[in-house]
Chain A
């Protein structure tokens, strides 16, 4: 290729690169805002349990094993959509699924668990977004993966389905699962 051909092709190459960049940008979802909390300790919380108002749920529950903290609410259609998958995950995996019931009312939340089943070891009840704010929650559902030391390792925004579980969440769970010697 001589110099003149190279020079003539330059605009085309620049255009192609720009088009590729913009096309890539089109495929990004602006609703998925990366969380600055990943690889940081889970923010402290102290909330009543949804099922048992007398019981207090705190960060202590996160220690010792890998947990999924799933932010959910009865008013959230995507939460219902992912519910069956969460049931399945809780049933067949060595991971504790903890509910974070967010901006909901107790009767409606309990109603949903009664109707569709309860995948959660326990649900922390945060009707006023008191601690949701500290967790950077801005919608439901959101799912945090937290290692045995209480460090947030991953955050998934939107419903969890089989593909998300298998390709995104499970590898992180496996990676941080405490080694049994």
Chain B
């Protein structure tokens, strides 16, 4: 494969950069004005953590779907009313389910999700150590009487051979 000319790559990167920046600013959060810095931070934080159910790979902050717009307004209204982050999140979870959260809560139905990887890692480690350990400690095979006698014969024979060859 031939490398594309450097200028072309740069142009492509610039284009992608331009498109993403346009995309991010296609709607602005400026319609949401706050007198209180803390409330604004909390708003930005919340809409970044909440998922748009229509376009599921976007947060409420980045989605242009109508429903996301409605939910942004609702979150804004609730923050202005002085509701806490927890209250707002539980309001949305009660209606839309855990799916509105990017980070699933830790509860019995998600234990496998949160702890599964560690479980598998532990299991893999256990199996590995067991396999390694067994190789070392595996007892040597016991010989039967007949085999022992044959071994003696062979050893004696080879001893003789060595004697004669010397």
Contact = CB atoms under 8 A, between A and B. Distances in A.
Interface of A: 30-31, 33-37, 43, 103, 128-129, 132-139
A36 B66 contact: no
B95 A135 contact: yes
B87 interface: no
Given A33-B53, A129-B66, A132-B70, 17 more contacts: A33-B97, A34-B97, A34-B99, A36-B95, A36-B97, A43-B95, A128-B70, A129-B67, A129-B70, A133-B74, A133-B95, A134-B95, A135-B95, A136-B97, A138-B54, A139-B53, A139-B67
A64 to B, nearest CB: 25
Interface in B67-100: 67, 70-71, 74, 93-99
B54 A36 contact: no
A151 B66 CA distance: 28
Contacts of A139: 53-54, 67
Contacts of B93: 36
Contacts of B97: 33-36, 136
A152 to B, nearest CB: 12
Contacts of A136: 95-97
Contacts of B56: 30-31
A103 B96 contact: no
A139 B56 CA distance: 13
Contacts of A132: 70
Contacts of A31: 56
B54 to A, nearest CB: 6
A31 B56 CA distance: 8
Contacts of A43: 95
B26 to A, nearest CB: 20
Most buried by A among B67, B74, B95, B98: B95
Contacts of A35: 96-97
B144 to A, nearest CB: 21
A43 B91 CA distance: 12
A129 B110 CA distance: 31
Nearest to A35: B97
Given A30-B56, A138-B54, A36 B96 contact: yes
Contacts of A129: 66-67, 70
A64 B69 CA distance: 36
Contacts of B99: 33-34
B91 to A, nearest CB: 9
Nearest to B98: A36
A132 B71 CA distance: 11
B54 A33 contact: no
B123 to A, nearest CB: 11
A30 B56 CA distance: 8
Most buried by B among A36, A132, A134: A36
Interface in B96-130: 96-99
A133 B71 contact: yes
